[in-house]
Structure formats: structure tokens, C-alpha cells
Amino acid sequence: MKDAYVEYKEKLISPDEAASFVKSGDKIFYSEFVLFPEVLDEALSKRIHLLKNIDLRSVCFSRVPKIVEADPKREHVIMNDWHFGTVSRRLHDMNMCNYIPLSYHQGPRTIRKYRDFDVAFITVAEMDKNGYFNYGIANSLTSAVLNKSKKIILEVNKSVPYCYGGLRESIHISQIDYIVEGNNTPLAEVKPATPKEVDRRIAEHIMKEIEDGCCLQLGIGGLPNLIGQMIAESDLKNLGIHTEMLVDSCVDLYNAGRITGRRKSIDHFKMAYTFAMGTKKLYDFLDHNPTCASYPVNYINDPRMIALNNKVVAINNAIEVDLYGQVCSESVGNEQKSGTGGQLDFIFGAFMSEKGKGIISLSSTYKDKDGKLHSRIVPSVEPGSIVTVPRSIVQYVATEYGIVQLKGKSTWERAEALISIAHPDFREELISQADKMKIWIKGSRS
């Protein structure tokens, strides 16, 4: 085999040379989340007006691509995202980005069956002594994309932590086409959201469902961060982590001695995840840390893999829940806000886990721009809204007024349970609506 460092020099090119490989009609992929291919995007933006029908895809763009910024009328680039964050949501509202519906664990299989890419621009850690480039904090769909890419161009960023994996977390230099050295820009940080008082009240109900030996999935936001803090301050022990997204609160839990992974059935003693996003504290924790194991999302989010661990507790946020138990977590009417992501995967997998609990959490109300109070527990999901978790899959729902279990319950029992955790100001109206919908048995109120 050719010496890796010799091959590195042979494959090293300038960003402009790399951009020249993109032709009109090409399908290109940018690396996921905060691993944005900065210098490659900038180089391509210089010549984007010479190109037509470029199909650009990624998972949760962390910044506005310069090639999109340079083409506000979408005459040259069609941008598509597998999961919306702030950037794609804003661009979508400007008619500059499309959402790709996805049940996250099926992403790699979907790509292998139906998608091809002409060029992949992937940000990686610097090459190790064995000639491997590590994907860092985003394993997710990357390996599947590279399997289906005609040309693979890596952007090396020394700020990317080297993240040990359980599977397919790196690519060898012999498998790639070209290398570009980036600016080594520090990775974008996502600060933990400050929890609100309503989050604390919801968290108190959820904490009662967590016991020694549970395997946790925590997402992003004020509530998961607060639950992580409350667990760290508790006397819970021998907890495990098997999660889509690794966040700062997981570091705090580990440092507090709550996370050991001793009771896990798979990936013993490991914090298993598919991508990480947080602050420098998290990125530094991940670097060359054998406590953590990065996997593609078809492993981490496969409900069958999730269920192999006992006592899985998966906690996910929602926008609204209707009286049938349908959960909308990704849109407000026709307005796309995020995506299905792994919520369906983990709610389904947690239920299949021995003594597992899939929990949907939401505040009981919200205020509109005029300050008017609205219920998040509604008779029916708003027209145009996307049902993220169907009623047949939903297990637990929690608000600041309590937590209810819906499995095995009839439509009127579900309605009764959900109304019991709705804001008191809306309960009578919800009862009236349930009666009109023929899902409320008169005299059934306790």
C-alpha cells in the first residue's frame, strides 16, 4: 500500500481546483450539522453563476451556504435539507430551501437505494498515522453518502475532534479523491437553552419515570438540559446513553458519575450516538475519548437496536398533541419548523424496550404574537400540520400538569387523560369538542 503521507500530498489540491469538478446538473452533498465545508463552499460560490441545476443536500445546515446566498432566485442551486434547523427554516420561509421527509434511521438505506451524488464535500479531522480521516461529530448519513458519491473531496479542519466509533466513523485516504486544507475554523457552538419555569414543572413529572439503570435519549432544548441537570443532582446511578444527539448535559451527567453504561445490553460502558452538537466543552470531551462511540444513524436510531437496551427512556418535544393522541413536532400548519428526525424512531424503540418509556413533552400552552394564550393540546391537529408520531405509537405525554400513558386506551380514555394534563382554562372547551367528535362518553369524567 502506498505511504499515506505520500498519497496525501498527491491528492492535496486548492479549493478552487476542487470547485472546478462541479458541473451543471450535479448532485452535491455538504457534510452534516456544524461540520460545514467552509472553504469548499466559498470556492464554489465564485463560479456558481456559471452552473445550472445544482442539487445541494445536507443534514441540518448550520450556516447559509455561500452558493445559495449568491443565488437568491434559485436560478442555479436548489437547496434541500434532511432536517431543518434555524438556517434552513429561515431559507424555507424565503422559498430558498426544501425539506426532505425522513424517518431518520432509514436515511442511509434511502440513500443507498434511491440517491446518487456526483460530488461530496465533507469536513473531517486531520489524517491519523494510519491514513484515516475521522468524520468527527457527525457520523449519521455520511458513510452512506460516500458510498454513493462519484467524487469525494475532503476538507481538513484541525478543530474537528477525533471521535472514536463503533462503526464507519472514518474513511481511508485510498477511498477518497482529493483533499483540501481548510481554515481550521473552530466548530460552531450551540449554547444550551435556558430552561423556563414551565420546563421545571414538566421535568419534575418526567424525573419520576427515570430509575437506576435507565438508558437515556436526551435531545436539544431547555427541557432536556434541565432534566440532565436534575439527574446529575440526583442519586440515580448506572445510567446509560444511547442517543441520536449527544449534548452538553451528557458530559455533565458523566462527570457527576451518573453515567456508567454498566447496565446496557449493547455498547457496554459506551455513550453511543450518531451526531453531537453543543459547546466546546462537548467537543473537547469527545476528542479521543473511548467512553463515546459514534455510529451511523441506521444503527443508533433503528428501533430494533434501541429496544435491545432495557429501560430506555426517550424524551422528545412536541408542538401540539390532539385528543386522539396524534403528535405534531415539526410544523405549524404548512410551516415547516424542523423535521421528523429520530422522534418516531425513539418513541417506537423505547416502547419495545423492556420497561422502556417513550415520552412526548410539551408545555400546555403558548402565546401568539398578540399575547393571546392557546392550548397545545387540541381537538385535532391544525390543518396542514404534519403528524410526526401517529396515535398508535404514542406512549407517554407530559405537560406541566402531569404525565399520562396512552397505550391500550380507547379514544375516550385518551381524550380524558390528555384533557387532565391540559391547561385548566381550556379543559371545558376540550371536553365540549371531544363530545362533538364522538370521542367522549357522557358521564365519563372523573
Q: How far apart are CA 98 and CA 89, in angstroms?
A: 9
Q: Judge whether 79 and 98 are in contact, CB under 8 Å.
A: yes
Decide the pairing of beta strands 335-336 and 331-332.
antiparallel
CA-to-CA distance for 212 and 366, rounded, in angstroms?
34
- Asked if residue 172 lies in contact with residue 179, where contact means CB atoms within 8 angstroms, the answer is no
* 276 touches 218 (CB < 8 A): no
27-43: burial string, b at 16+ Cβ within 10 Å, e else: bbbbbbbbbbbbbbbbb
Active site residue 244: yes
| Grid cell digits, residue 382 | 391544525
Q: Which amino acid is at 421?
A: I
In angstroms, rounded to a whole number, what is the distance separating the alpha carbons of residues 117 and 41? 16
Amino acid at 355: K
- Strand pairing partners for 57? 29, 80
Active-site option among 7, 169, 244, 330? 244
- Tell me the one-letter amino acid at 22: V
What type of residue is 232? Answer: A
- C-alpha cell, 45: 460560490
The cell for 251 is 458530559
Residue 408 burial by Cβ neighbours in a 10 Å radius (0-12, 13-18, 19+): exposed
Cell numbers for 343: 422522534
Separation CA 387–CA 257 (nearest Å) = 38
Contact 214, 207 (CB under 8 A): no
CA distances from 313 to 77, 105, 141 (A): 41, 18, 24
Q: In sequence order, what are the residues at sequence separation of 6 or more whose Cβ sits closer than 8 angstroms to the Cβ of residue 224?
A: 218, 247, 249, 315
Report the C-alpha gap between 155 and 14 in whole angstroms: 10
**Residues that are catalytic:** 244
